[in-house]
Amino acid sequence: MSTQTHIQANKTLDCQGLACPMPIVRTRKAMDELEPGQVIEVQATDKGSLADLKGWAQHTGHHYLGTVHNGELMRHFIRKSSPQELKAEQMHPLTVTGQQLEQKLAANVGLTVLDVREPAEYAFNHISGALSIPLNELELRIGELASDEEIHVVCRTGYRSDLACQLLAGKGFKQVINVEAGMNGWTGSTEQA
């Protein structure tokens, strides 16, 4: 969307400098203050916020309108839906802890570790052998994954990976497992790209 686009928002929420999951946490709370049909502008600098907010809106029933880029600043616009349009937020039912995943990796169980964080996050530390596909690219790159394979999905906190698990499960992947607490809870070895 053009940086010269002017969109009237009913509320502006400053999430600059915050990383996942804080823009979502603050947006969820701020939405409670809006009436159905009103628009919130969420200002963020975290590149992952684009996929996070878009995915959150899709899973809750709110209407993601778009994002305006102003240099490093992203201005996300979301319209609050009416109660009839809203969906109950659901979490992917299959989860493991970082410690459980570490045990599976040590036992050489055949599985894929999918890291859905942004490339810079992945570059500085990731689980050895993890495949990097950022959440905002996952739908386009889904063909890189085997739908019959056990896939453990990780992000920084477990939120983006939950959205990725729901997306994959919706596309017919049967063995998709979210790594709770993400890299924040990972105590195993890591490597850099």
Biggest CA–CA distance in the chain, Å, is 55
Kindly list the catalytic residues: 20
Are residues 102 and 16 both part of a single domain? Answer: no
Residue where a domain stops, chosen among 19, 50, 79: 79
- 129: pLDDT strictly greater than 80: yes
pTM of the model: 0.73
Q: Tell me which residue range forms the domain holding 49.
A: 11-79
At 60-116, the pLDDT tens digits run 889 999 999 999 999 999 999 998 888 777 789 999 999 999 999 999 888 999 999
- Residue 111, token pair as written in the block: 């599985």
Are residues 40 and 122 both part of a single domain? Answer: no
- Which CATH number characterizes residue 71's domain? 3.30.110.40
> Would 90 be classed as within a structural domain?
no
